[in-house]
Amino acid sequence: MNSPAPNIHADTPRIRQLDEGAINRIAAGEVVERPASAVKELVENALDAGARRIEVAHAEGGKTLIRVTDDGCGIPADDLPLALARHATSKIDGSDLLDIHSFGFRGEALPSLGAVGRLAITSRVAGGEGARITVSGGQMGAVAPAALSQGTVVELRDLFYATPARLKFLRSDRAEAQAISDVVKRLAMAEPFVGFTLRDVSGGGEGRVTFRADAETGDLFDALHRRLARVLGNEFAENALPIGATREEITLTGYAALPTYSRGSSVAQYLFVNGRPVRDKLLVGALRGAYADFLSRDRHPAAVLFVECDPHLVDVNVHPAKAEVRFRAPGVVRGLIVSALRHALAEAGHRASTTVAGATLGAMRPEPVSPRVYQMDRPSRGAISAAFAAQAPLPEHAQAPLGGELAEPSARFEGAEPAPEATALPLGAARAQVHENYIIAQTETGMVIVDQHAAHERLVYEKLKRQMAETGVAAQALLIPEIVTLSEGDAAALMDHADTLARLGLTLEPFGPGTVAVRETPALLGEVNAEALIRDIVDELSDLGDSQTLQARIEAILSRVACHGSIRSGRRMRVDEMNALLREMEATPHSGQCNHGRPTYVELRLADIERLFGRT
């Protein structure tokens, strides 16, 4: 207990200037966290150089070799030593740190890599001669002639050999290789008109191609759609909705998946700002808020979104790896994302993801069957008629076998015949009700199974929301206004949103410095702890610049009301009721999923049904 503090020295510590090697190794710790970080920096340099084909090769998860080859503009031989100097870059002149139109601009990546590994750069500009320079552990070699057709080849060997302690924090070769693949795929999504190839050369030689995406052509949306199908798979592309919206010089484009194509985590969320992949909590929160009305808390939306704006409206110089950004108007960006996504989901109408049918067919896969029955082996028409007669239901006066009672059927059939053209509608014509909960409808190309309770729950919920939007939220006045004390900044931010909160039934008034008075609360919420609600709203305003807390609570109440006011499981429905439900689903946005994100119907194609029975 009497030992001196470890940071207090008997002698006064002296300030000294670190040598260039130590400075570069410290900088590398911020920029190069793992092999995937090095790949990101090198591929972004290639994109900034105007490359149209980029190949990335790695060995042992990038620990022993990373090689990036591009066909960009190249680096003049005289500039190669300067390219390895700290804070030397061709992308900005330093006069305006907000006017950034490239991926890189710090001038730290190459010297940082050269400080912790063995780096070699071979490059050639059009009309010039190829040249090569090497740097190992911060020690730079001389520029030498080299053979190269065009572009640049950057080869990094033995990453972190100069800082061996960092090697202990790397994961397995397989995990590091997966991280490299994720980085390349994110950049491939951002640049659909550039071809990417990823090779694993751990065994030597040419290795094996683990990812390849050729350069796309045509319209931007079409090219992006094809690139996303290549990177994320056809299932995402089939179930993704195009997004395009602009607000106050900020443009949002991309694709967002249907709510029924949700994931168990946020792994399928890819966000870009001016083409740069980012992990920004503002954008993630806005994406989550846009789907809040369609997904339960344990499900996450899938989306690829691009925010484009003037570089002066966003600061990308807030994180060494440029993974975070700061918007000048965060509320505008959040509002743009939420409104654009909700509009796209509403435009999708009753559509549900194709994966629902795939999962259904997988669950219905039969046991191995006997060999197929071909047409010549099928029974005659007379035998079929006799079989149908034997399978006909017993007449009402018939006695049950063995003197028992007839069992209540679990499937009901209505004799009323719908209009012939009803089968041409998206959800078809109702044919039967099974287990008093599932409607079986026939379409021109197959059949639809509808969960009547889940479908009607969504219909009632959407109707309640429309009514609330038209008439507003009823407010109940408090006999004694509740006084809530906050900091002056929080109180001011809260009063800035007072008009929006008033439309939701929460009426606030200033009540002195840092104090607000709650006059009315939403009647739907019943008895509510006004102070706790206010503090939740303030926290969300501080974190995201906007608050959806009150609206989320009101919509949760409406959802519960809709659940209790909808058709219950077990209720028998007439054929006209079933068809009316189908028609209303077709006309109501978001009716493809219930209030918890589960599908309300499953569509099965006739070809898939026949395949189940071996009739293909």
- The pLDDT value recorded for residue 435 is 87
**Tokens coding 563:** 């659940």
Q: Whose structure tokens read 């006209």?
A: 576
C-alpha 339/C-alpha 333 separation (Å) is: 10
Pairing of strands 208-213, 151-157: unpaired
How confident is the prediction for the chain on average, in pLDDT?
Answer: 81
Which 3 state secondary structure label does DSSP give 476? strand
Instruction: Quick: pLDDT tens for 27-82.
Output: 665 667 889 989 998 999 899 889 999 999 999 999 999 999 999 999 999 889 88
Instruction: Quick: pLDDT tens for 250-307.
Output: 999 999 999 888 888 888 999 999 988 988 888 998 898 888 888 877 889 999 999 9
Instruction: Quick: pLDDT tens for 287-300.
Output: 988 888 888 778 89
At 40, the amino acid letter reads K
Please state, for a pLDDT cut of 90, what percent of the chain lies above it. 30
Please state, for a pLDDT cut of 70, what percent of the chain lies above it. 78
- The pLDDT value recorded for residue 9 is 54
Q: Does pLDDT of 2 surpass 50?
A: yes
Phi, psi of 182 (to 5 degrees): -60, -40
Q: Does pLDDT of 16 surpass 80?
A: no
Q: Does pLDDT of 154 surpass 80?
A: yes
Largest CA distance in the chain: 110
For residues 82-90, average pLDDT: 74
- The pLDDT value recorded for residue 406 is 43
Reported confidence tier of residue 493, pLDDT bands at 50, 70, 90? confident
**Tokens coding 58:** 């790695």
- The pLDDT value recorded for residue 348 is 85
**Tokens coding 50:** 């105007």
- The pLDDT value recorded for residue 403 is 45
Instruction: Quick: pLDDT tens for 160-194.
Output: 888 888 888 889 999 999 999 999 999 999 999 99
Angle formed at CA 102 by CA 101 and CA 105, multiple of 5 degrees: 110
For residues 559-582, average pLDDT: 79
Reported confidence tier of residue 398, pLDDT bands at 50, 70, 90? very low
Q: Does pLDDT of 361 surpass 80?
A: no
C-alpha 222/C-alpha 103 separation (Å) is: 24
- The pLDDT value recorded for residue 294 is 84
Reported confidence tier of residue 381, pLDDT bands at 50, 70, 90? low
Instruction: Quick: pLDDT tens for 510-563.
Output: 988 889 999 988 887 777 788 888 888 888 777 666 666 666 767 776 676 667
Q: Which of 10-19, 75-84, 394-403 has the lowest mean pLDDT?
A: 394-403
Reported confidence tier of residue 400, pLDDT bands at 50, 70, 90? very low
| Domains along the chain with CATH numbers | 20-213 (3.30.565.10), 220-348 (3.30.230.10), 353-365+411-616 (3.30.1370.100)
C-alpha 175/C-alpha 198 separation (Å) is: 15
E-strand stretches of 205-249: 208-213, 240-247
Nearest C-alpha neighbor of 487 from the set 518, 515, 519, 517: 515
- The pLDDT value recorded for residue 312 is 86
For residues 343-360, average pLDDT: 78
Q: Does pLDDT of 242 surpass 70?
A: yes
Cα–Cα distance list, 125 to 144, 274, 301 (Å): 15, 27, 44
Alpha carbon 79 to chain centroid, angstroms: 41
For residues 429-449, average pLDDT: 90
Nearest C-alpha neighbor of 507 from the set 480, 546, 481: 481
Cα–Cα distance list, 352 to 457, 582, 598, 600, 604 (Å): 16, 14, 10, 8, 12
At 313, the amino acid letter reads L
Q: CA quadruple 215, 217, 219, 223: dihedral positive or negative?
A: negative
Pairing of strands 303-308, 269-273: parallel
- The pLDDT value recorded for residue 458 is 86
User: Which DSSP letter does residue 329 get?
Assistant: S
For residues 433-446, average pLDDT: 90
Beta-carbon contacts of 25 under 8 Å, excluding residues fewer than 6 positions away, are: 115, 116, 138, 162, 163
**Which of 150-174 are b and which e, b meaning 16 or more Cβ less than 10 Å from the residue's Cβ?**
ebbbbbbbbbbbbbeebeeebeebe
- The pLDDT value recorded for residue 5 is 56
Reported confidence tier of residue 93, pLDDT bands at 50, 70, 90? low
Query: Is residue 154 within 8 Å of 104, Cβ to Cβ?
Result: no
Alpha carbon 138 to chain centroid, angstroms: 40
